[in-house]
Structure 1
């Protein structure tokens, strides 16, 4: 997935008129829906900052060795539009996230979810600038992205979102494995897949709302109650035209932010964004990542 395909997917939805929903299941969490409504009603005043974070302690993926493709895997179909590579023993089923030929790193693996919640809560779309700092610090292995990263997105209206991704090495002081914190002039809200907590400016808890069901947060599947609720919303959108919690036209803005975080990291400098198209202004190096190299015959076209 890349910015070019991001726009293509939105245009395809418009052309064919189908319901398309992204799997950012926290958009269907009752506590998150409640919190965003409270924010719209001014419960924490003027919101100005969203802090998205993910913390894990992923091990080394080693240096892959070329082996025979497992009989259970259609390697040709699995690679899809990516230029073909020999099958290695450290790619499938999960570590493909850390290879540039197939993956997009942690920011577009788990950051997608937390950045999305911040964007939703702040009521913002595409940023004006993006800055990224980070690197690969922990193991010498085949991992091709940064393993620790800090990205800052600035938006009109003097609002900003930060993404802190700790793939290897848990964040300290102790924090939940993932989440989003929304800051306002009158208080703060912490959101996770499990709960909504409201704090005053003094840091004291004002109220806590629990989701009622559990969801995995930092394993390699992330399954839980929210998946069923999100899928139910999608089915109801098809069956009875219920409003979608994450239609692709809106969800694609969040995925674009993740791409821009990687592009800013690769550019090594703050990038300026066209807030209408999402394209990087006056920076050929960053825009080199706008569209990927495709295997012959696999480039998607509308």
Structure 2
């Protein structure tokens, strides 16, 4: 749909997951270059002032030589059950909604949110929420494509239609750095952590990044400073609204009206969607 919109001469704000595989990423990048329109990815934390400040200070050496990013998502999603064939809602164009995917009959446990857990349309938690935090780690570490990816996990909690791991660990290895992803879709991480976030480790300290703040710690674990966002954002509910949505979309509109680069142009951020499917 993003490519069709570009072909129609429209600027595009494309939500994640914007692809199932790296080839689809390249098709969208090629279309953006051909039609010369603005394409903004819906990864709101790229517009967080606190995260941008942290990345700037990391590059200036505030925590020394950075070597590892830890990304995680912690939730307690319930069972999606076993879907039953039902009539398509009058408000939904089921054929259009399925896009290029193989056609399937409508079931009562797919729309509007649980499509994330079906392989025909979704990409599982790692490409649903992991794509946000893994991108923040890549941004902070200054890396692109990994040399090696290791992934393990499984579906452990419910006997239902969910088709992806509900608990997963992934490691992305680069020349001298690594990123890890811990995804707990069903059963929260213990000891307790915020619902989502990223930690960046350096030779002189550690920085934690969320949609709402940036915290700097010494190697001894003592908090040195906190930088808060001016407006709070939700983190783990399925709506996820908040200040960063407004800021990120405003950046998209300003790029159209005034020119210049978006906070996450598709060309700049495409590697994050190259990395994630490998997990």
What's the TM-score, normalizing by structure 1? 0.85
Q: Does 1:209 align with 2:227?
A: yes
The structural deviation recorded for 1:225 is 0.4
For the residue of structure 1 that corresponds to 2:150, the secondary structure is strand
Q: Does 1:89 align with 2:108?
A: yes
Q: Give the structure 2 partner of residue 254 of structure 1.
A: 272
Q: Give the structure 2 partner of residue 71 of structure 1.
A: 90
Q: Does 1:25 align with 2:44?
A: yes
The structural deviation recorded for 1:249 is 1.1
Q: Does 1:181 align with 2:195?
A: no
The structural deviation recorded for 1:242 is 3.1
Structure 1: segments with no counterpart, 5+ residues = 262-302
d(CA) in 2 for partners of 1:258 and 1:221? 22
Structure 2: segments with no counterpart, 5+ residues = 1-18
Q: Does 1:195 align with 2:202?
A: no
Q: Give the structure 2 partner of residue 11 of structure 1.
A: 30
Query: How does 1:94-113 map onto structure 2 within 5 Å?
Result: 94-113=113-132
Superposition RMSD on alpha carbons, in Å? 0.7
The structural deviation recorded for 1:17 is 1.3
Q: Does 1:153 align with 2:155?
A: no
For the residue of structure 1 that corresponds to 2:30, the secondary structure is helix
The structural deviation recorded for 1:243 is 2.6
For the residue of structure 1 that corresponds to 2:41, the secondary structure is coil
Deviations, residues 36-78 of structure 1 (Å, cap 9, x unaligned):
0000110000000000000000000000010111111111111
Deviations, residues 216-242 of structure 1 (Å, cap 9, x unaligned):
111111111001111111111111123
Q: Give the structure 2 partner of residue 116 of structure 1.
A: 135
**Ranges of 4+ aligned residues in structure 1 off by more than 3 Å:** none
